[in-house]
Amino acid sequence: MAKRIQLRPRRTFSEDVKRKVVSDIEMGRKGISTVVREYGVCSASVYNWINKFSTFLKSSPPVRITMEDEFQKQQQLEKRLTELERLLGQKQVQVEFLEQLIALAGKELKMDLKKSFATRL
């Protein structure tokens, strides 16, 4: 038989109730754990209310803390990337030069060198 699970009804709290709860927490009249027990909400909801309605207890933006090794590794990767981009640019210039050389030699010899070499392969 299927086991029936009884879900709690979805409750919504008005903005006034949320503001009152946050005010009580700010004034030190109640703690977060007390509010969680009294209202039957999870602590994440209370923290969300605090972030939304509090004037003093705002959470700071997240700060990324990296190890020195990660920072050095990132710098090395950035250096490697710039070096590879420079090499790619040089190779592109070489390719364009060789294509122009083939075109010029083809004009001198009055034949299409690209087609004649392609058919021999």
- Give the angle subtended at the CA of 63 by the CAs of 61 and 67, to the nearest 5°: 175
Closest CA to 18 of 28, 41, 61: 41
- pLDDT per residue rounded down to tens, the chain (121 residues): 567 777 777 788 999 999 999 999 989 899 999 999 999 999 999 999 998 998 887 667 777 777 778 888 999 999 999 999 999 999 999 999 999 999 999 899 888 887 766 665 5
43-53 and 32-39 are packed helices; what angle lies between their axes, rounded to 10 degrees? 110
Tell me if the pTM is above 0.85.
no
Cα end-to-end span (Å), the chain: 74
Closest CA to 49 of 22, 10, 20: 22
